[in-house]
């Protein structure tokens, strides 16, 4: 993908269902869970490289023994850093106490991080926050085991200010406005209330505090806590939590915006943001890794009982289509086919732009994630080429010479690796003019395979801001002297901000938005820009459910192709010799390719939650008023 697009986050949760001795005997180590967590986090590093965290809980420990361990890092290689710390601590304990090498009970008692319940998290630091305090998991501590709460999630709330105010109304003093802290305090509040109720109940039955403790663990209603906590949440989330006594949960938002998958056998229960992560780490068959349905939570009680509970009434399913286009690993069986289909469906439009001239066209892709849609595009091209060969032979009515048949059959599709990303190249020079020259060289090209009169078709996952295309890729492609460069986006035009965790919150950063502004300027209809601002401003105090997305009116007068053509102009510098054309996926074809992930708000402006319209409203006001603030 040419535009670096950040996104929050990846989550992994493991509950070992057998005693630690079982894993020592079967797999040769009591650190089985830690090893699997390392694997799951590494397999999700595509979901976040700015920070990583790990937390574990030991079950049934004696009073006075630590039972919660947590480690977080925002170093350059955060996953390696936290597991280096964990391994160093384990190894030093084993060196100091060699007698516990094969004594699992002693290892559990003395060595941190070994436990039956663990959660890992990888994150991207969107919106500029990447202090160690921003790294998950978060911990809400208490001397009462049942009141401890560890939370981590892949989420973004659109109504964090409202949630914060509700906590203040409850008499709390949250230490941060961040949605993670706000959400954790909300869950923690209802967890505390549930524990208090149970304690009063057992006290009335004549039980002491010590006698009440195991009964509270047994009867604590996690689903009830989540129902009360989540009823006001507006956003996309896969929210994981561990309670100090050993209960665990992961809750998915009612629109299914953010992904979550789970797997259970007689040894483990596992939850993760992506299916192939679980398949690879546990060698689990595709059909046994289940998707967690929207609005449901997987709840794992301390006693190992697992249940799937409906916490929130499901809304219309709007799972994020960007997960399929770009974020999730392409090794998932469904996602691989969907990405190929995205490329396949674009080919008829590509044929129009190359005047159906396959022989004089080179097909390529922008590394690395667009490679799969490239394969789909190539399959479609092969099918068309085969039709052309067949038609030519049939048209010959049996009168073609052997050489003519040979010439027809020898026509081949020209696919080449044109763009090469120099990952190590960094822009150290701060002076703008020099920096632009360096940015231009972040991508290199393969010389000698494009002829001067060729078309060059190059496919990318999506075009968000267009900066890298303009400053680097198109300049380098133009050096190959093609007559036309056709840039193909496997995603539709990104016209609206995201508010559920993808780092594209500002309208003016989106090249499609800038193209619409330019078209209004060209046509003398720029007054529309201010009219929309006034409409947005008039809604500023409306309830979320009453806000209308008037930003749609900015695009309404133009066809998709008019916007695409203008984007092509905006991305073409005067010094380019080749004609540049941009081909975008249609929203209809996106839905055909990815039928389970119909969340398309960044393309259509149809937000799945009420908070979305407020966010796009605020983003437009910020754009018009030249305000750099985040819209939510």
Answer whether residue 524 shows pLDDT above 60.
yes
Q: For residues 235 and 497, what is the distance between their CA atoms, to the nearest angstrom?
A: 14
Q: For residues 585 and 588, what is the distance between their CA atoms, to the nearest angstrom?
A: 8
Compute the residue count for the chain. 632
245, 247, 253, 256 alpha-carbon torsion, rounded to 10°: 150
Q: Among 190-199, 244-253, 420-429, 602-611, where is mean pLDDT lowest? A: 420-429
Q: For residues 85 and 72, what is the distance between their CA atoms, to the nearest angstrom?
A: 10
Question: Is the Cβ–Cβ distance between 450 and 480 less than 8 Å?
Answer: yes
Strand partners, 444: 420
* Architecture in CATH for domain 10-317: 4-Layer Sandwich (3.60)
Q: How confident is the model at residue 432 (pLDDT cuts 50, 70, 90)?
A: very low
Q: Looking at residues 217-236, what average pLDDT do you find?
A: 96
Residue showing tokens 């009612």? 254
Q: Among 115-129, 431-445, 556-570, where is mean pLDDT lowest? A: 431-445
What does pLDDT average to over the chain?
92
pLDDT of residue 417: 94
Answer whether residue 40 shows pLDDT above 50.
yes
Q: How confident is the model at residue 429 (pLDDT cuts 50, 70, 90)?
A: very low
Q: How confident is the model at residue 6 (pLDDT cuts 50, 70, 90)?
A: low
Q: Looking at residues 437-456, what average pLDDT do you find?
A: 83
pLDDT digits (tens, 9 = 90+) for 284-323: 999 999 999 999 999 999 999 999 999 999 999 999 999 9
pTM beyond cutoff 0.85: yes
Answer whether residue 173 shows pLDDT above 90.
no
Domain covering 323-624 in this structure, CATH number: 3.40.50.2020
Answer whether residue 168 shows pLDDT above 70.
no
Q: Looking at residues 358-383, what average pLDDT do you find?
A: 95
Using DSSP bridges, classify how beta strands 117-123 and 51-57 pair: parallel, antiparallel or unpaired: antiparallel
Residue showing tokens 């081949």? 412
Q: Among 146-160, 405-419, 437-451, 617-631, where is mean pLDDT lowest? A: 437-451
Read off φ and ψ for residue 232, nearest 5 degrees.
-105, 0
Q: Which residue has the higher pLDDT, 161 or 536?
A: 536
Q: How confident is the model at residue 440 (pLDDT cuts 50, 70, 90)?
A: low
Q: How confident is the model at residue 177 (pLDDT cuts 50, 70, 90)?
A: low
Q: Which residue has the higher pLDDT, 383 or 126?
A: 383
The segment(s) of the chain belonging to CATH 3.60.20.10 are 10-317
pLDDT of residue 430: 43
Q: How confident is the model at residue 126 (pLDDT cuts 50, 70, 90)?
A: low
The segment(s) of the chain belonging to CATH 3.40.50.2020 are 323-624
Read off φ and ψ for residue 322, nearest 5 degrees.
-65, -25
Read off φ and ψ for residue 392, nearest 5 degrees.
-65, -40
Q: Which residue has the higher pLDDT, 62 or 168?
A: 62
Answer whether residue 268 shows pLDDT above 70.
yes
Answer whether residue 349 shows pLDDT above 50.
yes
Cβ atoms within 10 Å of 449's Cβ, excluding its own: 16
The strand order across the sheet containing 579-584 reads 414-415, 361-365, 455-460, 484-489, 579-584
pLDDT of residue 426: 46
Read off φ and ψ for residue 127, nearest 5 degrees.
60, 25
Answer whether residue 125 shows pLDDT above 80.
no
Q: How confident is the model at residue 425 (pLDDT cuts 50, 70, 90)?
A: low
pLDDT of residue 427: 41
Answer whether residue 539 shows pLDDT above 80.
yes
User: What is the distance of C-alpha 241 from the center of its chain?
Assistant: 19
Q: What is the DSSP letter of 586?
A: -
Cβ atoms within 10 Å of 448's Cβ, excluding its own: 7
Taking alpha carbons only, the member of 187, 184, 185, 221 closest to residue 201 is: 221
């Amino acid at each position: 993908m040419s535009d670096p697009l950040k996104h929050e986050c990846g989550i992994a949760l493991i509950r070992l269902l057998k005693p630690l001795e079982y894993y020592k005997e079967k797999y040769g180590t009591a650190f089985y869970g830690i090893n699997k967590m390392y694997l799951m986090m590494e397999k999700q590093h595509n979901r976040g490289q700015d920070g990583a965290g790990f937390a574990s809980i030991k079950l049934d420990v004696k009073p006075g023994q630590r039972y919660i361990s947590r480690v977080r890092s925002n170093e350059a290689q955060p996953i390696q850093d936290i597991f280096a710390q964990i391994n160093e601590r384990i190894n030093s304990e084993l060196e100091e106490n060699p007698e516990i090498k094969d004594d699992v009970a002693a290892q559990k008692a003395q060595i941190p991080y070994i436990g039956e319940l663990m959660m890992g998290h990888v994150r991207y630091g969107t919106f500029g926050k990447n202090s160690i305090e921003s790294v998950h998991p978060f911990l809400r501590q208490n001397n009462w085991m049942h009141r401890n709460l560890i939370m981590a999630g892949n989420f973004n709330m659109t109504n964090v200010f409202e949630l914060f105010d509700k906590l203040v109304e409850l008499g709390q003093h949250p230490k941060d406005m961040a949605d993670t802290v706000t959400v954790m305090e909300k869950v923690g509040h209802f967890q505390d209330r549930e524990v208090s109720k149970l304690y009063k109940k057992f006290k009335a039955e004549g039980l002491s505090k010590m006698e009440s403790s195991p009964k509270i663990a047994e009867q604590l209603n996690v689903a009830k806590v989540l129902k009360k906590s989540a009823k006001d949440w507006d956003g996309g989330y896969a929210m994981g939590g561990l309670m100090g006594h050993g209960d665990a949960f992961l809750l998915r938002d009612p629109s299914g915006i953010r992904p979550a998958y789970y797997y259970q056998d007689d040894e483990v229960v596992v939850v993760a943001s992506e299916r192939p992560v679980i398949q690879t780490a546990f060698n689990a068959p595709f059909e046994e890794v289940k998707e967690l349905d929207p609005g449901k939570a997987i709840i794992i009680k301390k006693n190992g009982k697992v249940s799937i509970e409906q916490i929130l009434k499901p809304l219309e399913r709007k799972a994020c289509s960007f997960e399929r286009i770009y974020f999730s690993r392409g090794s998932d069986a469904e996602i691989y086919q969907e990405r190929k289909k995205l490329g396949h469906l674009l080919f008829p439009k590509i044929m129009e732009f190359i005047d159906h001239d396959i022989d004089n066209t080179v097909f390529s892709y922008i590394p690395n994630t667009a490679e799969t849609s490239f394969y789909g595009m190539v399959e479609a091209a092969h099918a068309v080429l085969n039709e052309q060969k067949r038609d030519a032979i049939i048209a010959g009515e049996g009168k073609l010479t052997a050489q003519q048949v040979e010439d027809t059959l020898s026509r081949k599709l020209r696919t080449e690796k044109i763009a090469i990303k120099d990952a190590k190249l960094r822009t150290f020079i701060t002076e703008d003019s020099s920096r632009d020259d360096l940015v231009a060289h972040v991508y290199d090209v393969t010389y000698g395979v494009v002829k001067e009169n060729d078309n060059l078709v190059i496919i990318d996952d999506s075009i968000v801001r267009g900066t890298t295309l303009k400053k680097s890729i198109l300049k380098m492609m133009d050096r190959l002297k093609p007559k036309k460069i056709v840039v193909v986006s496997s995603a539709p035009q990104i016209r609206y901000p995201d508010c559920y965790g993808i780092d594209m919150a500002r309208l003016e950063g989106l090249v499609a938005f800038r193209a619409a502004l330019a078209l209004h300027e060209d046509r003398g209809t720029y007054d529309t820009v201010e009219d929309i601002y006034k409409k947005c401003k008039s809604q500023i105090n409306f309830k979320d459910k009453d806000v209308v997305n008037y930003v749609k009116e900015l695009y309404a007068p133009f066809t998709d192709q008019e916007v695409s053509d203008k984007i092509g102009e905006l991305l073409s510098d005067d010094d380019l010799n080749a004609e540049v054309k941009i081909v975008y996926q249609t929203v209809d074809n996106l839905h055909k390719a990815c039928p389970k992930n119909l969340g398309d708000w960044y393309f259509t402006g149809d937000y799945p939650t009420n908070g979305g319209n407020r966010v796009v409203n605020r983003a437009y006001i910020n754009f018009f008023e030249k305000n750099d603030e985040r819209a939510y």
